Amino acid sequence: MQLRYRYRLNPTSGQQAALARAFGCARVVFNDAIAAREHVRRTGLSYPKDAELSKALTAVKKTPEREWLTEVSSVVLQQALADAFAAYRNFFASLSGKRKGTNLGAPRFRSRRDNWQSIRFTRNARFTVTTGGKLRLPKIGDVPVRWSRDLPAEPSSVTIVKDGAGRYFASFVVEMDAEPLPSIESEVGIDLGLTTFAVLSNGKTITSPKFFRRAERRLKKAQQSLSRKDKGSKNRAKARLRVAKAHVKMADARRDFMHKQSTALIRENQAVYVEDLCVKGLARTRLAKSVHDAAWGMFLRMVEDKAARYGRTVVKVDRWFPSSQTCSVCGRVDGPKPLSIRSWSCPCGTVHDRDLNAARNILAAGRAERRNACGETVSLSV
């Protein structure tokens, strides 16, 4: 499997200028590839093949108008061209229905004003990590790296990223085999929520940090200050940077929380059962801000990725399963209840906490679904 390891970079001012030059050249090559295909689309001609555009790039570097493309590594330019090819392949696959997920639009031009820029080096570029712990990049130099952990294997490529807050990162891609953890007996069902981030079937509760809600006032002031600045002024650029730093600080804290919680769940349980939530649909409701703040989609992706890496099992229960309406003791379906009702009594005499009862039902339904070899719908009595 392929894994990414990301590290913070501290380039010098000269290296920042070289990176900016590489970002710009990659953007121009990408836009040229999009423009070439848009031109033939408007004229009714057939799309140029990938090999033809690659040859055209080699030829255009010899012209006076594009001679400055030779100032950066050729691998960076070829990878930008490969990104354009992949964007069109995904677009056509989406149109034909071969690609799963939401429909993709046609590739768009990249702007020099984008706050997120990236370039990619493959093994052909001969990037290396020096004995002094620096990342040697062709035509850029030895860039200092903050090594928070060791690379587990030789990387096949590295992507250099500059985010909206002006930070630089190196994202290495490494090939690794699965690392199965010792088998254990415990399994858990998870009921995700907004007031409480998650309630587990074993009674454990994970409190919701509500990162955005806690930072909302500070973000509001920073954005108000940005709106008062004149467009194009240096003060506006400084204000934009303050807003971006506030956002990345919040996003980093959320990502760190998700990693820690997902890792703990995978290490402590052989199987994890969750609801197949329609996060995109919930994000269109009046709870949209809280749903985005909870970041359920990010959390579930991390759980699935780590389960695949460590030999654990993740089972998604049907989103229409009435986990909050069913008594986990007798199986009676008591009907829908508004979110304001946090506990309820079943005629069998059991008093349920809404979230804990739902987590236990998800656990039971997930176990039944896991034992269902033919893929048919099963009940909790299986």
Known catalytic residue at 275:
yes
- Nearest CA to 88 out of 127, 136, 53 is that of 53
Beta carbons of 129 and 150 less than 8 angstroms apart:
no
Instruction: Find tokens 């969750």 and name the residue.
Output: 274
Give the end-to-end CA distance of the chain in Å, rounded to a whole number: 35
Beta carbons of 145 and 137 less than 8 angstroms apart:
no
Instruction: Find tokens 């200028």 and name the residue.
Output: 17
DSSP string over 116-154:
-EEEEEEGGGT-EE-TTSEEEETTTEEEEEE-SS--SS-
Known catalytic residue at 50:
no
At position 344, the amino acid (one-letter code) is W
- Nearest CA to 78 out of 22, 134, 133 is that of 22
Phi, psi of 119 (to 5 degrees): -140, 160
Catalytic residue among 32, 187, 275, 293: 275
Residue 153 makes CB contacts below 8 A (sequence gap 6+) with 174, 175, 176
Beta carbons of 358 and 199 less than 8 angstroms apart:
yes
Catalytic residue among 187, 191, 293, 369: 191
Q: How far is CA 313 from CA 186, 190, 230, 300, 316, in A?
A: 12, 14, 54, 13, 10
Known catalytic residue at 355:
yes
- Nearest CA to 165 out of 235, 256, 247 is that of 247
Beta carbons of 146 and 8 less than 8 angstroms apart:
yes
d(C-alpha 125, C-alpha 114), whole Å: 26
Catalytic residue among 32, 187, 293, 355: 355
d(C-alpha 256, C-alpha 209), whole Å: 11
SS3 44: coil
Beta carbons of 136 and 18 less than 8 angstroms apart:
no
Q: Which residues are catalytic?
A: 191, 275, 355
